[in-house]
Amino acid sequence: MAASQVVRGTFAPGKAVVSAVLALIALVLMLAPLVIYPVFVMQALCFALFACAFNLLLGYAGLLSFGHAMFLGSAGYICAHGVKEWGLEPLAAVLIGAGAAAAIGLFAGVLAVRRQGIYFAMITVAFSQMIYFYCLQAQFTHGEDGITNAQPGKLLGIVNLSDSTNMYYFVVAGTVFGFWMIYRTVNSPFGDVLKAIRENEPRAISLGYRVDQYKLAAFVISAALAGLAGGLKALVAQNASLTDVSFSTSGEVVLMTLLGGMGTLSGPVVGAFLIVFMKFFLSGLGQWVTVIQGLIFVICVLLFPRGIVGGLERLAKWSL
Amino acid sequence: MLLHSTITSQQLFGQLLVGLINGSFYALLSLGLAVIFGMLGIVNFAHGALYMLGAYVALFLLRELSLSYWVALVVGPLVVGTVGALLQRTLLRRLAGLDPLYGLLLTFGVALVIQGAFENFFGASGSPYPIPVQLSGAQNLGFMILPNYRLWVISFSLAVCLSTWLVVEKTKLGAYLRAATENPALVQAFGINVPRMIMLTYAFGAALAALGGVLAAPIYQVRPGMGAELVSVVFAVVVIGGMGSILGSIITGFALGLIEGITKVFYPEASSTVVFVIMAGVLLLKPAGLFGKTA
């Protein structure tokens, strides 16, 4: 996709700059709850991880999944069910949720990687709709009501996550772990093969790479990390609902990534914060939010297909 | 499961009829998607919104202008076709030469705008649309009661689908269209206005969706969300059939509607997911789709 053209003209910033930026981000994350409503930051962080996981597929492997909500939502359900009905320790519940999302990703991925481009997108739409209908009918999801009042309990039996400060640092740790996983994946030999597939799939095949297996691996990693985001989000909200598994959430994560800049590391984070921020402050406008999101889609595609960070990269000639 | 063994023929044929009705809409919508895909190479994510728009045009004509269903059947597709032509001309055309995924994203955005706006104006709840008097009543076939309007929907949409197939496969216009799909530059060199043809193709696909919407109005409630719910099933239908063939998408549409109906009789819990399960099976055995040529 076009995002790839950006990368070629850029070079990575020096180590000192990277360390400085990371330290600054860490400082901001530590101090943010003093200034901003912590629930807002936690929500935004979960969506940011979700968008980064999605971007691992779209931006680095060139696969557009239009059904990523199935991983976010089902992991959320399982995590919420785990802490509420099984009395699971919250970290275990989050990990089981992410594992379940990875399993769904394996099943959907095996079938979806058999087709490319727009077919891939349509197949993921269809599978996520299947999961949606399942969640609508299943007993443990409580249909339209969702799982409510899922108290997170004590982390490792010690730290009480019902305390919002503890929860905040737990979510920060969880999402930072997720970002780190994505960073390592993208900057590994595996990530290079993914980029090669994105740029020129026939060439990658001719070089002897089993393209489908690489795509499947990327799909499962992406699903697991989206599940991690979903589990954390369910703990933050103390509930799991149909919204998280719905088509509109799948569309939202595409929007976040497109707005921030696909194929950039930090773009989806920027996009996620902007969209969550917008929904938070415009919640009084009702369905006009949908219209605004649609307009952002249209404007981004027509005028800024590189997104915000992609555009900045081009100006600064730095890989952000 | 004693209950399942005592299915009356009334129930069975009733659900088969519902299946055929759904199949009519699957066929009309997947046909439009296939036509647009063939010419523009994009998946039209706005298809559900255009279908919904067709139903609302019918509702508007009836309530505000007291114009009948029969007028709506002509005006609905015309209005939505014009909307489609404008959309293609002003927005989609700018994406020529880019990755087709951008077309998908753009049409998705357009769908959000249309659907969100309608939810603002009309709320999420539905409005009823009366069955036209000429088609009210029903036929008693002995083994089942067949409402006239449902018979009309099935036969009319079948007729529309088959005539589309005839036009594309058997007429000179269709030959131009197929040629322009294969090699637009060459067809352009022969003096045919390919950009206009692309615009009209998108308009035609949009008009087919709107026709589906007008036909659906008296059966389902007219709601802003009516298209969005249908379109994910239609995508599965398109993946199963493969978008390469027009006749293929018509057959797949009707067949999957029927299968859904049968499932509703014998295993109702699975009726909303059976199409997706079939899609998974088809992807395993024949990844290009039942009627698709290449993967």
Q: Please name the member of B112, B235, B276 whose beta carbon is closest to the beta carbon of A294.
A: B112
3-class DSSP state for residue B140?
Answer: strand
| CA pair distance A254, A13, nearest whole angstrom | 27
Looking only at Cα atoms, what is the longest distance across chain A?
55
CA–CA distance, A307 with A311 (Å, rounded to integer):
6
Q: A263, A95 in Cβ contact below 8 A?
A: no
For residue B42, the distance in angstroms to the closest alpha carbon of chain A comes to 8
| Residue A282 near chain B (CB below 8 Å) | no
Query: Identity (one letter) of the amino acid at B140?
Result: N
Q: DSSP E strands: which ranges in B68-224?
A: 138-140, 145-147
CA distances to A7, A292, A294 from A285, rounded to whole Å, are: 38, 10, 15
Q: Does A119 touch chain B (CB under 8 A)?
A: yes
Contacts of residue A180, Cβ cutoff 8 Å, sequence gap at least 6? none
Q: Which residues, including other chains, have CB under 8 Å from residue A37's CB and lie 6 or more apart?
A: none
Handedness of CA B69, B71, B73, B76 (dihedral sign): negative
- pLDDT means over runs of 10, chain B (295 residues): 59 84 91 85 89 92 87 92 92 83 89 90 83 80 80 91 89 85 83 86 93 91 86 85 81 90 84 84 81 62
B128 — contact with chain A (CB < 8 Å)?
Answer: no
Query: What are the backbone dihedrals phi and psi of residue B147, each rounded to the nearest 5 degrees, phi first?
Result: -65, 135
CATH number of the structural domain A3-316: 1.10.3470
Cβ of B120 under 8 Å from any chain A Cβ? yes
- B232, A126: Cβ pair inside 8 Å? yes
Q: Where are the domains of chain B?
A: 6-285
> A50-66: per-residue pLDDT in tens?
999 999 999 888 899 98
**Class of domain B6-285 (CATH, top level):** mainly alpha
Instruction: Check B280 against A111: CB less than 8 A apart.
Output: yes
Strand locations in chain A (E): 154-155, 159-160
Question: Using the beta-carbon criterion (under 8 Å), do B116 and A290 form an inter-chain contact?
Answer: yes
Residue A142, both tokens: 């409580």
How is A98-125 classified by DSSP, letter by letter? HHHHHHHHHHHHHHHTTS-HHHHHHHHH
Q: Please classify residue A208 by burial: count the beta carbons closer than 10 Å to its beta carbon, then call 0-12 exposed, 13-18 middle and 19+ buried.
A: exposed
For chain A, give every domain's residue range. 3-316
pLDDT tens, residue order, chain A (320 aa) = 444 444 444 556 667 777 888 888 888 887 777 777 888 888 999 999 999 999 999 988 889 998 999 999 999 999 999 888 888 888 899 999 999 999 999 999 998 888 877 788 888 988 888 899 889 888 888 877 888 777 877 777 777 777 788 888 889 999 999 999 999 999 899 999 999 998 888 999 999 999 999 999 999 999 999 999 999 999 998 888 888 998 889 989 999 999 998 888 888 999 999 999 888 888 888 778 889 889 988 998 888 888 888 888 888 776 66
Q: List, as own/partner pairs, every contact residues B176-185 make where C-beta atoms lie below 8 angstroms and the sequence separation is at least 24, other chains included.
A: B177/B38, B177/B39, B177/B201, B180/B39, B181/B38, B181/B39
